[in-house]
């Protein structure tokens, strides 16, 4: 039985290095990033909260704040600094593909990253003194987005998490560590508390604090700890076993491998493609890193955090270099799989993660009517 709780996880390999892209060997880059700072969603609030009403949140529930816009624009400038030579300065539709989840905040974040990454050259400037050019993005509707919106697209995810939570050892751990936390939350919010709901409420309190709204006195007993630990532990529940990893990370990795293999064998269309950019959420980043066993998650991936999967060709060998930016250091952290070096040959990388690559949609299950009804009103993305 696989257990990956943050307090009992195994040591994972990472190193902090000052890095700039090795442009001479770089062939392709996959960038998975979290959207910018945002307002809370209703799922992370409760009706008796003094700041429940949407009028407190400029732009509305779940929307980017001005700080969030700045976060994403800065991310774009960081990517420009890292990949300037590799990408070139002239925007070309063939160079990059941008995909986002079907949420306003991730769509806006994609546009903001593009604004920082692709300022128009003098030749492409279309309006005097306006250093911006439109860059297109794509998205898959939420109910069909197995790669980036698994909670909404895969009915099996909830089922598998429920099974894990009912396992004797895990149920005992959650009961002993968080029973009082759940009790305080339920008594003061009126919400039936599950590990997921505790996770959602932690994010709600965190956002409320970030927006400088005072927290109620009762929260002092549980916030930030132990509610923070309960939230982080939820990521480890999501990626606890092979069935779960196939859902939360496998479909995305399968896409990355397909794009990378096409680049390697010369069938990528368009052949000049250099970067894939994915605008998504913190759970995408956390569950990917946990599933790869490449980094020990101990906190919520911050706004604008990102994972780089760089494809290099070194001495005729194609492989991946992985990096994670959580802004604890100036530069992204170089990370690696447990049994591979920081440059991991493609075949070795694939062999290590092949067990979590889904073979078909059966690993996800198409959303059925009963599941759709159960999920109505539940905005499962943060």
In a domain, 375, yes or no: yes
Which of 361, 98, 154, 147 is CA-nearest to residue 252?
147
Backbone angles phi, psi at 26, to 5 degrees: -75, 135
**What pLDDT score was predicted for residue 1?**
44
Q: What is the pTM of this model?
A: 0.92
Bond preceding residue 226 cis, omega within 30 of 0: yes
pLDDT category of residue 368 using cuts at 50, 70 and 90: low
Domain count, the chain: 1
Q: Does residue 9 belong to any structural domain of this protein? A: no
7 is a domain residue? no
The whole-number average pLDDT for the span 209-229 is 98
Cα dihedral 182, 300, 108, 128 sign: positive
The pLDDT, as a whole number, for residue 116 is 98
- The dihedrals phi and psi of 170, each to the nearest 5 degrees, come to -70, -40
Task: Output the pLDDT for position 24.
Answer: 86
Q: Does the residue 308 lie in any domain?
A: yes
Q: What is the mean pLDDT of residues 328-334?
A: 96
pLDDT of residue 22: 65
Confirm whether 51 is domain-assigned: yes
What mean pLDDT is predicted for residues 337-344? 96
Which whole number is the average pLDDT over 364-375? 52
Task: List the CATH number of the domain containing 188.
Answer: 3.40.50.1240
Domain assignment present for residue 11? The answer is no
Distances (CA, A) of 323 to 137, 246, 266: 24, 22, 25
Q: For residue 359, give its domain range.
A: 28-381
């Amino acid at each position: 039985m696989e257990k990956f709780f943050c307090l009992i996880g195994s040591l994972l390999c990472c190193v902090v290095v000052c890095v700039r892209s090795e442009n001479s060997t770089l062939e392709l880059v996959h960038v998975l990033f979290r959207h910018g700072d945002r307002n809370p969603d209703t799922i992370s609030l409760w009706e008796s909260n003094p700041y429940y009403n949407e009028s407190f949140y400029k732009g509305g529930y779940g929307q980017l704040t001005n700080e969030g816009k700045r976060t994403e624009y800065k991310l774009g400038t960081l990517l420009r600094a890292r990949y300037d030579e590799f990408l070139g300065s002239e925007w070309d539709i063939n160079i990059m593909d941008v995909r986002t989840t079907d949420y306003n905040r991730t769509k806006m974040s994609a546009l903001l990253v593009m604004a920082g990454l692709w300022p128009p050259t003098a030749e492409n400037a279309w309006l005097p003194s306006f250093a911006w050019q439109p860059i297109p993005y794509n998205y898959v509707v939420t109910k069909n987005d197995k790669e980036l919106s698994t909670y909404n697209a895969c009915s099996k995810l909830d089922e598998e998490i429920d099974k894990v939570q009912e396992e004797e050892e895990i149920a005992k751990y959650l009961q002993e560590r968080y029973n009082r936390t759940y009790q305080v939350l339920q008594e003061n919010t009126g919400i039936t508390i599950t590990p997921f709901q505790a996770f959602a409420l932690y994010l709600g309190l965190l956002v409320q604090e970030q927006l400088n709204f005072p927290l109620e006195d009762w929260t002092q007993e549980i916030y930030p700890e132990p509610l923070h630990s309960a939230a982080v532990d939820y990521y480890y529940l999501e990626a606890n076993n092979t069935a779960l990893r196939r859902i939360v990370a496998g479909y995305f990795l399968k896409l990355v491998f397909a794009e990378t293999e096409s680049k390697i064998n010369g069938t990528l269309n368009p052949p000049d493609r250099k970067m894939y950019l994915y605008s998504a959420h913190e759970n995408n980043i956390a569950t990917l890193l946990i599933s790869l066993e490449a980094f020990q998650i101990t906190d919520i991936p911050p706004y604008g955090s990102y994972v780089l999967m760089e494809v290099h060709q070194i001495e005729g060998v194609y492989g991946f270099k992985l990096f994670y930016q959580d802004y604890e250091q100036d530069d992204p952290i170089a990370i690696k799989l447990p049994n591979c070096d920081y440059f991991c040959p493609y075949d070795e990388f694939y062999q290590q993660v092949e067990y979590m690559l889904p073979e078909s949609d059966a690993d996800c299950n198409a959303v059925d009517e009963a599941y759709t009804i159960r999920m109505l009103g539940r905005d499962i993305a943060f």
